[in-house]
Amino acid sequence: MRLSDIMSAMGLAIYPTIALFIFLAVFIGVLIRIGRRGDNDALTRAGRLPLVDDAPPRGVGDRVHRTEIHR
Amino acid sequence: MVAPANDTSIAMMHVPASERSPGPIETFVYDDAIVRKFMGVTILWGVVAFLVGLIVALELVIPSVIGYTTASGNQPFAFLSFLTNVQYLTFGRLRPLHTNAAIFAFGGNAIFAAVYYSTQRLCKARMWSDRLSNLHFWGWQLIIVLAALTLPLGITSSKEYAELEWPIDVLIAVVWLGFFGTNFFMTLKNRRERHMYVALWFYIATIVTVTMLHVFNSLAVPVSLFKSYSVYAGVQDAMMQWWYGHNAVAFFLTTPFLGLMYYFLPKAADRPVYSYRLSIVHFWSLVFTYIWAGPHHLHYTALPAWASTLGMLFSVMLWMPSWGGGINGLLTLRGAWHKLTDDPVLKFFVVGITFYMMSTFEGPMLSVKTVNMLSHYTDWTIAHVHAGALGWNGFMTFGMIYYLAPRLFQTGLYSKKLAEWHFWLGTLGILLYIIPIYIAGITQGLMWRAFDQTGNLQFPDFVETVMRLMPFYWIRVVGGSLFLMGSLLLAYNVIRTWMKRPAVYEEPVQTAPALRPERVEAPVFASRLTANCEFGHKGDVMIQRIASGFWHRVWEGTPWKFTFWTIVAVASASVLELIPLFAIRSNVPSIASVQPYTPLELAGRDIYISEGCYNCHSQMIRPIWAETKRYGEYSKPGEFVYDHPFQWGSRRIGPDLAREGGLRSNLWHLLHFQDPRQSVAQSIMPSYAHLIDETLDYDGLTARVKAHALIGVPYGDAVKPGRAAELARAQAAIIAEDIAASGGPAGLAERKIVALIAYLQRLGTDISRPPPTENGLPDTPSP
């Protein structure tokens, strides 16, 4: 008896389908997470991280990042 | 609300105010020297990749003009024939060089430049180890140089986008995970900003998934330093390959470039990304769905239908998050569209994202089986890929470079005007590439399946369908040249900018408070149920906890948790998709008459692999009427159980060869390989005359047979010393005699060409053979 005989007898074929549902469930979980209110401040701040990370070196006519916050 | 002046972490929102004091202020300097290096080689390898692309594009058109003779008897284009007959330059060998250079040299170094620049800034920390940064840089360049040497020499595993042989594969794993991964994760660990910005998530997913894909797809048994055999065979090898291949698109050409987009676009536009919430969905849905999509490369092949349907479903689902991400990028420019008129950086980004959206709309469409039935094996796929690679990866990279060059060289950009020229040349180049190639693809697909009134194929002669594409191929050459010219302008512009650099680079000292150990308190929930049921109460609390999203908040501030769950997502999807195919017998029904290749055929197969014939020829007949009519009985999964690696191919520039065995005489093949145009006047196949001169290494056959025996191919006594060579010589003598007897040259028995012919004559013949009575090799191979 070979390994593949044993595996074949185990009826694993249903698992990809089950996995499909698990993955959808997690997806919905993430949707809920972002749909929640109350996180606005934290998320707004997180979204601004790239704009507050760096002092521009000389020579670059770089605007100092002082954008107003959009809410 | 105004952003807090001293940026404390968002996880602190949950921390009692008394404990919210920031850590001691620390000072540090970013390592921009490493970013300068990666940016420089990105441009260099970009030019090389585009140039090799242009050469292979030319190789498909010049065979149709080298024979052109003027009225006075001159052949003005004859000098170009070296592109079709110098073995190191043939299409089959150069095309992998082009794809590898574009993806891993140009794309790879662009990713590294983006990661090294943005990670340091988002983490408010210098890269963990300068030594690892440099080892990573030089290690990766070494890999590229080795690729550029080995591929033209015909040293290849033949697995698309993973062609490099095993020693280089080992090196890739070390450089990628050992140097790059370690450096990246240790920088994350030592960061001074609690929240990991979304770009970093994309980098995490890239590093862990590419490692997994690379290792599992590349598993092989070495025969020598330059040769190995995939441990997987046939259907399973195909599945592994496209699980890898599609996820290379996902996790090498998509996720890191999305990280790039999420970082550099807000910087260039000077406003935060449109919706941070959307970026969270974008990330997880990509990670969760992409990994399943691979089988859409194998519709209607011998792959079991459940696998390819799964691939189709997930591919169609992918459309949503991809567009969500694209829209998120474009809307970042809300209120700033006017900046587009005079900022080349933003121009490149906007067009790049537009191509991302175009490709991610087209991709799901191509994974629908009925569309795929037309598009598969045609140039449609090539056009799709180039919309993505030139438009999305290329333009995002160019945008980043124009953003970075003045900052890294601490001086103004040499010429904004040249950058504008680059933008327009590039855009026009892409359009002149993809539009004709779309037309070529659809044209060829339709011609392959066209029937006339009598129920016969309307274009039974394959080469007729090739000739029809020549005008489009010429336009592609023009488009590709424009794109290449654009990249030369970039190189010139960046070099001139570099020449204006200050004598000493300023290294601004940054300050940030050290990260305090995390003290996040989970919100407490009470059951809202009134019934007296313990299980119900627990359940309600759990639901509230999940719905609070608090867990994700924690992940966002804890790299190892985030990484762990990313690995769980990609690994579980892969296991669930791959295991049934490997473990369940019914997925690859065996066929009694299918036997291992004889040692000589095996040697021929290795030549086929080494020459890269799979770049032009498929070996997989789909169960479609037009196809069985043209090529014969459709391919069965059981026919490929000894194919380490599989040779199904993905593009038919030439006809399918799955049932080539017995179709032509040995002499026909010999003359055809010597110069295809003496057999088929309009052929665009390269000449393989060198195979007629070179001698076959009969003594090396035992090692090859043994390697196969090791992975389960029943070679019987052929593994005994000298036996393989003996069997091979006997078979070669028959073929050589037949060639001489039919009027061809004599004395070919020791030449490579005989092995290749033996292999071709075997292809697809097993299913019409009676099953062997005793186990062992089929005794008399067909001449």
Q: CB distance B556–A58 less than 8 Å?
A: no
Residue A21 has pLDDT above 80, yes or no: no
Residue B411: closest C-alpha in chain A: A59
Q: CB distance A27–B284 less than 8 Å?
A: yes
Which positions ≥6 away from B128 have C-beta within 8 Å? B182, B183, B186, B187, B189, B190
Question: Nearest CB to A60: which of B197, B406, B505?
Answer: B406
Give the pLDDT confidence score for residue B305 in this predicted structure: 80
Work out the number of other CB atoms within 10 angstroms of the CB of residue B477.
Answer: 17
Identify the residue with better confidence: B356 or B581: B356
Mean pLDDT of B247-253: 91
- Rounded to 5 degrees, what angle do the CA atoms B122, B126, B127 make? 95
Nearest Cα neighbor of B717 from B769, B677, B775 is: B775
Residue B738 has pLDDT above 90, yes or no: yes
Query: Best residue in B553, B584, B585 to probe A by mutation, most A CBs within 10 Å?
Result: B584
Q: Which residues of B touch A50 (CB under 8 A)?
A: 118, 121-122, 197, 199, 262-264, 266-267, 272
B144 near A CB under 8 A: no
Identify the residue with better confidence: B112 or B10: B112
Window 307-366 of B, Cβ < 8 Å to A = 310, 313
Give the CA-trace dihedral at B408, B410, B411, B415, to 10 degrees.
10
Q: Which residues of B touch A5 (CB under 8 A)?
A: 585
CA B670/CA B101 separation, integer angstroms: 33
Query: Best residue in B1, B232, B276 to probe A by mutation, most A CBs within 10 Å?
Result: B276
Whether the upstream peptide bond of residue B222 has omega within 30° of 0, thus cis, is: no
Identify the residue with better confidence: B6 or A71: B6
A28 near B CB under 8 A: no
Q: Which residues of A touch B284 (CB under 8 A)?
A: 26-27, 30
Residue A70 has pLDDT above 90, yes or no: no
Give the pLDDT confidence score for residue B540 in this predicted structure: 80
CA B620/CA B445 separation, integer angstroms: 16
Residue B311 has pLDDT above 90, yes or no: no
Give the pLDDT confidence score for residue B660 in this predicted structure: 96
Give the pLDDT confidence score for residue B518 in this predicted structure: 62
Q: CB distance A36–B579 less than 8 Å?
A: no
Residue A58 has pLDDT above 50, yes or no: no
Mean pLDDT of B760-771: 90
CA B744/CA B741 separation, integer angstroms: 7
CA B281/CA B580 separation, integer angstroms: 29
Mean pLDDT of all residues belonging to chain B? 90
Hey, what CATH class is B31-499 in?
mainly alpha
Q: Which residues of B touch A57 (CB under 8 A)?
A: 407, 410, 505-506, 508
Range(s) within chain B of domains with CATH label 1.10.760.10: 599-635+652-768
Nearest Cα neighbor of B429 from B361, B477, B358, B380 is: B477
CA A3 to chain B, closest CA, distance in angstroms equals 8
Q: CB distance A16–B576 less than 8 Å?
A: yes
Mean pLDDT of B741-756: 95
Q: CB distance B281–A26 less than 8 Å?
A: no
Window 544-563 of B, Cβ < 8 Å to A = 546-549, 552-553, 556
Alpha-helix residue ranges (DSSP H) falling in B682-751: 690-693, 701-710, 723-741
CA A2 to chain B, closest CA, distance in angstroms equals 10
Q: Encoding tokens for residue B535?
A: 């299980």
Q: Which residue type, as a one-letter code, is found at position B3?
A: A
CA B216 to chain A, closest CA, distance in angstroms equals 20
Q: Which residues of A touch B292 (CB under 8 A)?
A: 23
User: What is the per-residue burial (b if ≥16 Cβ within 10 Å, else e) of B442-451?
Assistant: bbbbebbbee
Identify the residue with better confidence: A16 or B314: B314
CA B394/CA B70 separation, integer angstroms: 41
CA B165/CA B151 separation, integer angstroms: 9
Residue B581: closest C-alpha in chain A: A13
Q: CB distance B584–A47 less than 8 Å?
A: no
Give the pLDDT confidence score for residue A55 in this predicted structure: 56
Residue B150 has pLDDT above 50, yes or no: yes
Checking DSSP bridges between strand B220-224 and strand B510-513, what pairing results, if any?
A: unpaired
CA A54/CA B122 separation, integer angstroms: 9
CA A14/CA B781 separation, integer angstroms: 43
Q: Which residues of A touch B584 (CB under 8 A)?
A: 4, 7-8, 12-13
Which positions ≥6 away from B370 have C-beta within 8 Å? none
Q: CB distance A70–B272 less than 8 Å?
A: yes
Confidence of residue B127 (pLDDT cuts 50, 70, 90): very high
A14 near B CB under 8 A: no
Q: Which residues of A touch B122 (CB under 8 A)?
A: 49-50, 53
CA B401 to chain A, closest CA, distance in angstroms equals 14
Query: Is-above-0.95 flag for pTM?
Result: no
Q: Which of A7-21, B249-263, B490-504, B655-669 has the weakest average pLDDT?
A: A7-21
Q: Which residue type, as a one-letter code, is found at position B626?
A: A
Question: Nearest CB to A33: which of B406, B508, B552?
Answer: B552
Which positions ≥6 away from B192 have C-beta within 8 Å? B26, B123, B124, B125, B512, B513, B514, B515
User: What is the per-residue burial (b if ≥16 Cβ within 10 Å, else e) of B181-212?
Assistant: bbbbbbbbebbbbbbbbbbbbbbbbbbbbbbb
Mean pLDDT of B721-739: 95
Q: Encoding tokens for residue B76?
A: 């003005």
Give the pLDDT confidence score for residue A3 in this predicted structure: 56
Q: B457 - beta bridge partners?
A: B451
Intra-chain end-to-end CA distance of chain A, in Å: 66
Q: Which of A36-40, B439-443, B539-543 has the weakest average pLDDT?
A: A36-40
Q: Which residues of A touch B277 (CB under 8 A)?
A: 34-35, 43
Confidence of residue B773 (pLDDT cuts 50, 70, 90): low
CA B316/CA B290 separation, integer angstroms: 10
Nearest Cα neighbor of B481 from B148, B53, B64 is: B53
Q: CB distance A32–B546 less than 8 Å?
A: yes
Give the pLDDT confidence score for residue A2 in this predicted structure: 54
Contact, B164 vs B108, CB < 8 A? no
Q: Which residue type, as a one-letter code, is found at position B10?
A: I
Q: Encoding tokens for residue B363?
A: 């991709």
Residue B164 has pLDDT above 60, yes or no: yes
Q: Which of B164-178, B532-546, B576-590, B619-633 has the weakest average pLDDT?
A: B576-590
Q: Encoding tokens for residue B583?
A: 């473990």
SS (H, E, C) B97-159: HHHHHHHHHHHHHHHHHHHHHHHHHHHCCCCCCHHHHHHHHHHHHHHHHHHHHHCCCCCCCCC
B583 near A CB under 8 A: yes
Nearest Cα neighbor of B491 from B417, B405, B433 is: B405
Give the pLDDT confidence score for residue B377 in this predicted structure: 95
CA B11 to chain A, closest CA, distance in angstroms equals 8
- What is the fold, at CATH topology level, of the domain defined by B599-635+652-768? Cytochrome Bc1 Complex; Chain D, domain 2 (1.10.760)
Intra-chain end-to-end CA distance of chain B, in Å: 83
Q: CB distance B278–A34 less than 8 Å?
A: yes
Residue A31 has pLDDT above 80, yes or no: no
Question: Nearest CB to B13: which of A42, A70, A71?
Answer: A42
Residue B259 has pLDDT above 80, yes or no: yes
Give the pLDDT confidence score for residue B598 in this predicted structure: 95
CA B252/CA B329 separation, integer angstroms: 19
Q: CB distance A16–B580 less than 8 Å?
A: yes
Give the pLDDT confidence score for residue B440 in this predicted structure: 97
**How long is chain B?**
783
Identify the residue with better confidence: B778 or B396: B396
Identify the residue with better confidence: B495 or B776: B495
Question: Nearest CB to B580: which of A3, A12, A53?
Answer: A12
Write the ipTM: 0.71
pLDDT in tens, B648-688: 999 999 999 999 999 999 999 999 999 999 999 999 999 99
Mean pLDDT of B135-151: 98
Q: Encoding tokens for residue B112?
A: 């590294």
Query: Best residue in B188, B310, B545, B552 to probe A by mutation, most A CBs within 10 Å?
Result: B552
Q: Which residues of A touch B7 (CB under 8 A)?
A: 45, 52
Whether the upstream peptide bond of residue B637 has omega within 30° of 0, thus cis, is: no
Q: CB distance A53–B122 less than 8 Å?
A: yes
Q: CB distance B272–A50 less than 8 Å?
A: yes
Query: Best residue in B115, B201, B284, B316 to probe A by mutation, most A CBs within 10 Å?
Result: B284
Residue A69 has pLDDT above 50, yes or no: no
CA B334 from centre of chain: 34
DSSP type of residue B177:
I
Give the pLDDT confidence score for residue B524 in this predicted structure: 75
Range(s) within chain B of domains with CATH label 1.20.210.10: 31-499
CA B632/CA B658 separation, integer angstroms: 9
Give the pLDDT confidence score for residue B274 in this predicted structure: 92
CA B536/CA B406 separation, integer angstroms: 61
Residue A43 has pLDDT above 90, yes or no: no
Q: CB distance B572–A19 less than 8 Å?
A: yes
Q: Encoding tokens for residue B298?
A: 């194998």
Question: Nearest CB to B122: which of A44, A50, A65?
Answer: A50
Identify the residue with better confidence: A4 or B220: B220
User: What is the per-residue burial (b if ≥16 Cβ within 10 Å, else e) of B626-662?
Assistant: bbeebbbebbbbbbbbbbbbbbbbbbbbbbbbbbbbe
